[in-house]
Amino acid sequence: MKPIWKGSIAFGLVNIPIKMYAAVDRRPVSFKLLHQKDNSPIEYRRWCAQHDHEVPWDEVVKGVDLGDGQFYVFSKRELATLRPKRSDVIDITGFVHEGSIERVLLDQHYYLGPDREGQKAFFLLHETLRKTGKLAVGSFVMREREYVCVLGPYGPGIIMSTLNYLDEIRPMAEVEGIASKPELKSKELEMAEQLIDKLTVKSLDMSRFKDTYMDKLKEAIEKRDQKHLITTEEIKPTPEANLLDALKASLES
C-alpha cells in the first residue's frame, strides 16, 4: 500500500513519525460523455459567455459569486497568502472518550502506520489508546486544507478520521416533519423492541452486503455484446393503520 502523506503525530514533547494511507479504495465505473452518433468524446471548453470565445488558462482567475452578477475576484498572490501553511505534523490538542464523537461529525478515514518497523512510540500510543478507550483529537494541513481529526486504535494500527466543521453540519430541525412527533402506543413500542431484539446480531458482517449496481455494470461491460434492462419493485411504506399488523407479522416470520 502506497502512503499518501508523511509526517508525524505530536503531543507534548512526543513526536512520532508516521505514514498515512487511504483506508477506503472506491473504484467506481467512470462514465465519459460521448456523442451518440459516432461515440466520440464530448469536450468541455473554458468559454467566455460575454465575448463568445474560448479563454486560455493564463486568463482564468478565481472569484466568489456575491449575487446580482457581482464577483469578488482573488489574485493568485492573495490566495497564496490565505491558504494554510503546509505542515507535516498532526498536532494533538487533547483526548476524548471513544463514544463522545457524534456520528454526523465523521467524514473521511485514513490508516496511520509507523514510519519504520519496530517504532516503539507508535505502538505505545496505539496500546494506550486501546486500553483507555480514548481518541486523540488533533489538526493538520493536507492539500491546502486544514483538517480537524480524531485518532484511535484499529486492529494493529491507528485509524484517523477527519471531522466536519460545525458550520458544515445542517441542522436536524430543517428536516420536514421532524418537529411533529405523534403519540406512540405502548403496544407498538413493545412489539418494535421485540422485533429489534429478534434481528439483533453480535456484530456487523459487511460481507453480506454488495454494491449490486457496480457488480451489474461490470458484468455488462464484460459481456459487452448484451444489454440488460432491470426493473426493481417499488418498496411501499407501511400505512400507519397497519403498523401493529406489520410488526406482528415480522415477529412471526
Domains of the chain, residue spans: 5-26+83-167, 52-82, 186-197+210-252
Q: What residues of the chain score a pLDDT lower than 70?
A: 225-235, 237-238, 240-241
User: How many C-beta atoms lie closer than 10 Å to residue 122's C-beta?
Assistant: 20
Please name the residues in contact with 89: beta carbons below 8 A apart, sequence gap of 6 or more: 7, 8, 9, 10, 15, 140
Q: How far apart are CA 17 and CA 9, in angstroms?
A: 6
Pick the CATH number of 5-26+83-167 from 2.30.30.700, 3.40.50.620, 2.40.290.10, 3.90.950.20: 2.40.290.10
pLDDT tens-digit series, residues 159-171: 999 999 999 999 9
The radius of gyration of the chain's CA atoms, rounded to the nearest angstrom, is 26
Take residue 40 and report the three cell numbers written for it: 466520440
Take residue 166 and report the three cell numbers written for it: 460545525
Question: According to the model, what pLDDT value does residue 153 have?
Answer: 97
Question: According to the model, what pLDDT value does residue 222 have?
Answer: 78
Is 115 buried (19+), middle (13-18) or exposed (0-12) by CB count in 10 A? middle
Take residue 94 and report the three cell numbers written for it: 487533547
Question: According to the model, what pLDDT value does residue 227 have?
Answer: 53
What's the pTM value of the predicted model, to 2 decimals? 0.76
Question: According to the model, what pLDDT value does residue 20 have?
Answer: 96
- Find, among 89, 58, 94, the residue nearest to 76 by Cα: 58
Question: According to the model, what pLDDT value does residue 226 have?
Answer: 53
Q: How far apart are CA 253 and CA 249, in angstroms?
A: 6
Question: According to the model, what pLDDT value does residue 240 have?
Answer: 65
